[in-house]
């Protein structure tokens, strides 16, 4: 039904516009009063960051996170619905959980933007999004080599001349640091925690799941 799909596309764009407009007054009051900055996302670059016109339009916004309100993370062409679990007092650190959406329309595996979902169940896994260096970014804490320990490993590795020596070095310095699922464990003086940040594009206050079946 083309008319329904067209209406859905317009509705999606209107949601993005309304979220931007409705939050702009409070946004400027809170952010400008406390930080004297404007937290506005830049439009996703078509062909580089997104292949979706709707995602591109939704990406530029000044929407604010609010506990109990939804959020949509924008991918290349997909969109993923989240719930906002907590927001820091300064509004720059947000904990979210992804929905496990249940599709309720009958459009099947088509290119249609008309996908309706029911949002009732969360996956129970907290994710952290922070405002950092002029953009929203996901924050992930990983276990990595401590700098001095890795330097020592590289020094000794350079001295290895046979595969047997490489294997022995692995057994001595690497294998004891691995957990049963082959991830690094936190070992004092050998491994340490490191925060990693990756830019994300998010629209706060809107839950909009979409899966692109053409990819």
The three-state (H, E, C) secondary structure of 182-206, written as one string:
CCECCCCCCEEEEEEEEECEEEECC
pLDDT of the residue at 42 = 67
Q: Is residue 56 part of a domain?
A: yes
207 and 81 in contact (C-beta within 8 Å)? yes
**CA separation for the pair 68, 82 (Å, rounded):** 10
Q: Is residue 40 part of a domain?
A: yes
Asked if 87 and 184 sit in the same domain, the reply is no
**CA separation for the pair 189, 177 (Å, rounded):** 11
| Burial zone of 40 (CB within 10 Å; 0-12 exposed, 13-18 middle, 19+ buried) | middle
Q: 129: helix, coil or strand?
A: strand
Asked if 62 and 167 sit in the same domain, the reply is no
Q: Is residue 215 part of a domain?
A: no
φ, ψ of residue 100 to 5 degrees: the values are -105, 90
- pLDDT per residue, tens digit, the chain (215 aa), is 433 443 445 445 444 444 444 443 333 334 444 444 456 666 788 887 888 878 888 888 889 999 999 999 999 889 999 999 999 999 999 999 999 999 998 888 876 778 899 999 999 999 999 999 989 999 999 999 999 999 999 999 999 999 999 999 999 999 999 999 889 999 999 999 999 999 999 999 999 999 988 87
Q: Is residue 213 part of a domain?
A: no
Q: Is residue 212 part of a domain?
A: no
Asked if 14 and 109 sit in the same domain, the reply is yes
Q: Is residue 95 part of a domain?
A: yes
Asked if 165 and 62 sit in the same domain, the reply is no
Strand order in the sheet with 70-74: 191-199, 135-145, 122-132, 93-99, 79-87, 70-74, 201-204
Q: Is residue 34 part of a domain?
A: yes
Asked if 73 and 173 sit in the same domain, the reply is no
| Burial zone of 212 (CB within 10 Å; 0-12 exposed, 13-18 middle, 19+ buried) | middle
For the chain, how many structural domains are there in total? 2
Asked if 185 and 125 sit in the same domain, the reply is no
Q: How many CB atoms lie within 10 A of CB 180?
A: 6
Asked if 48 and 113 sit in the same domain, the reply is yes
Q: Is residue 211 part of a domain?
A: no
pLDDT of the residue at 2 = 39
Asked if 135 and 153 sit in the same domain, the reply is no
Asked if 160 and 123 sit in the same domain, the reply is no
**CA separation for the pair 77, 79 (Å, rounded):** 7
Domain holding 62, by residue range, is 2-140+197-204
**CA separation for the pair 44, 57 (Å, rounded):** 8
**CA separation for the pair 134, 70 (Å, rounded):** 22
Asked if 80 and 153 sit in the same domain, the reply is no
186 and 50 in contact (C-beta within 8 Å)? no
Asked if 98 and 159 sit in the same domain, the reply is no
Asked if 178 and 88 sit in the same domain, the reply is no
């Amino acid at each position: 039904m083309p008319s329904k799909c067209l209406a859905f596309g317009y509705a999606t764009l209107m949601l993005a516009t309304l979220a931007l407009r409705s939050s702009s007054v409070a946004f400027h009051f809170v952010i400008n009063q406390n930080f004297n900055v404007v937290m506005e996302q830049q439009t996703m670059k078509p062909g580089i960051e997104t292949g979706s016109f709707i995602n591109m339009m939704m990406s530029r916004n000044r929407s604010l996170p609010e506990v109990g309100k939804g959020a949509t993370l924008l991918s290349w062409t997909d969109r993923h619905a989240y719930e906002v679990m907590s927001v820091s007092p300064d509004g720059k650190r947000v904990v979210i959980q992804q929905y496990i959406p249940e599709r309720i329309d009958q459009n099947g595996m088509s290119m249609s933007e008309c996908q309706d979902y029911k949002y009732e169940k969360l996956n129970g896994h907290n994710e952290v999004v922070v405002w950092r260096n002029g953009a929203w970014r996901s924050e992930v804490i990983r276990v990595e080599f401590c700098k001095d320990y890795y330097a020592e490993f590289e020094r000794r590795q350079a001295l290895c001349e046979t595969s047997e020596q490489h294997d022995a070095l692995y057994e001595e310095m690497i294998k004891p640091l691995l957990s049963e699922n082959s991830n690094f464990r936190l070992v004092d003086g050998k491994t340490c925690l490191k925060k990693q940040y990756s830019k994300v594009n998010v629209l706060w206050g809107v839950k909009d799941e979409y899966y692109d079946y053409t990819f």
